[in-house]
Structure formats: C-alpha cells, structure tokens
Amino acid sequence: MVTWTPAAISNQAGRVALITGGNSGIGWQTARVLAGHGARVVLAGRDLSKLAAAARAIRAEVPAAEVDTLVLDLGNLTSIAAAAQRVVDGGPLDLLINNAGVMNIAERQTTADGFELTFGTNHLGHFAFTAQVMPSLRASSAARVVTVSAIAARWGSGELTDLMSEQKYRPMGAYAKSKRANIVFTVELARRLVGTPMIAVAVHPGAALTNLQQHSQGAASRLLMPLLERLAMGSPEGAAWPSLYAATNAVVESGAFIGPAGRRQDSGTPKPARLPRGADDRATGVALWRDSERLTGTPFIV
C-alpha cells in the first residue's frame, strides 16, 4: 500500500479553507497543515478568545500564515445565520471542513433552538451552515465539503429514527446517530452535486484523544481517560490526516468515506473506507435531507 502523508499536499496558495471547531484538536491540526501549505484558513468556533489564541499559535509556527476567525455556535440557528452571512459577504470559499462536534453528554440537553444537543450540533448545525454558505462554495471553481464522522456511525444505535432522542436518550447512541447522519448527508449531497465542479466527502479520524473525549461528561468518562491515553488512541495530528487527504487529494471521489488504513482503523495512512450499512440508501438520504430542512427551517439549494 502506498503511504500518504501531509507531505504530499500540493501548494494550496489562493485557496480559502474554513474549519469548524478549528481552535483545537483535529480541527486545529487540519488548519495548521493547510496554512503551512499556503491556504488562507478560517477558524470557526464559539469562543472568540480561544479562536484568537489558536490563530496566534498557527502564526507562531507558520509566520506567513493567513488566518482569520469566525464566531460560530452550531447549536444556535441565529449564530449560524450570522456567521454564514459573513462568509458569503467574504467571497468564494474553496473548502468547508465540518469538523466540530460534541460527544457523550451525560444527560439529554437541548440547543438554543430545542434540538437534542448532540444531533443538533453535529448534524443539524452543520447542515444549516453548509446550506447557507453554498453561494460562497458555488463561487469557487472546485469547492469541497468535507464532513467529519466517526466509526460510531456503524453502530446499531446510530439508526436514524427518533432523531431528537425523545423516546430514549443514550449519550453514545445520540453520538452514533449524529455521526451516521453526517455520512448520509454527505452521500446525499454528493448525489445532488453531480454535474457540478463541487464534491462532498465524509471522513472518520480513527481514534485520538482530543477535547472531544476530554470534555465528555460523567465520572465514568473521566476515569476512562488515563486508560485511553495508554491504549491505542493516536494523536490529533495523525487523526487530521483523513480530513487533509479528503480536502487536498486529487483522486478523491465525491461521496467517498475516507478513514485510516490501520488494522482497527484507528490510525495510519488514509484510504477509502466501507460505508455503514444502508448509509447510501437513497430513500434514507432524501428523508434525512427533508427532515433537516424542516427542523432547521433552512432550504438547502444546491
């Protein structure tokens, strides 16, 4: 197998890349590498001070880096609309990496708009934001939408029913549901983009200890962290490779699912991965699209 590393990334000068959750973890590593290859990167997240610190850290490593910040709360449709308008006002967007997420929320919580927090943030927030920045993506000559899913998308608990977990709430079940939705959304978006120069790709990062795990709630989660650190969890830097591969490799196909090639798919060179069973079912994709438009009140016009 040919080993791919970020060293293979071509010059990204002139390309604008926006990364949600770009102030830490996999998102920051993705932004750092893209900036190092000449792209102008936009770090999107909820906390302006954390975004500013993340931008400074990239500039310290890449003095010539062009780094901007964008306040974006994916759990708030008003914030999403305001952030998307700023993007559209700024001109073409070549690369959108839907990376931000929450995981393992101990008790069922809701977003500002009443959505279950995990599904509302990880899927509905990204759906609404992607829909509203489409004018900027269409203005690019060859835009890409890369959405970060997870191995959890393959779990049986990820079935796309009871989207708001109103009948039964399980922290990791809600996470699996949101991550499956990321893939189903990507595959359906790829179908709708046929005949355009834009592509949509889903990725999973393998296993890495990032703020996503460290911020998991509950005593059990906190007790697991030392064990996870000693086991197979990789670094955020390596976990960013699938996103970087999907964002920059010329041979990536629209609708693909990219993940690490390691035996447990936890680390290693990126390669196409097997879709979760049923994730490419057209009826499922259309139903999720329709429900997402209805819930968010956001028409998604490709």
Q: Could you report the per-residue pLDDT of 12-42, keeping only the tens digit for each?
A: 999 999 999 999 999 999 999 999 999 999 9
Number of domains the chain contains: 1
Asked if residue 277 belongs to a domain, the reply is yes
Mean per-residue pLDDT of the chain: 91
Q: Which residue, among 175, 116, 163, 161, has the nearest Cα to 278 in the 3D structure?
A: 161
Asked if residue 194 belongs to a domain, the reply is yes
CA distances from 124 to 51, 155, 241, 301 (A): 22, 20, 25, 16
The answer on pLDDT for 269 being more than 80 is yes
Dihedral over Cα of 211, 213, 216, 221: its sign: negative
- The tens digit of pLDDT for each residue in 97-154 reads 999 999 999 999 999 999 999 999 999 999 999 999 999 999 999 999 999 999 999 9
Parent domain of 139:
11-296
- The tens digit of pLDDT for each residue in 228-258 reads 333 334 688 999 999 999 999 999 999 999 9
Residue positions annotated with a catalytic role:
175
Asked if residue 65 belongs to a domain, the reply is yes
Q: What's the CATH number where 174 sits? A: 3.40.50.720
Asked if residue 32 belongs to a domain, the reply is yes
Asked if residue 1 belongs to a domain, the reply is no
Asked if residue 2 belongs to a domain, the reply is no
Q: In the structure, what pLDDT confidence band is assigned to residue 219 with cuts at 50, 70 and 90?
A: very low
CA distance linking residue 287 with residue 302, whole number of Å? 17
Asked if residue 302 belongs to a domain, the reply is no
Asked if residue 220 belongs to a domain, the reply is yes
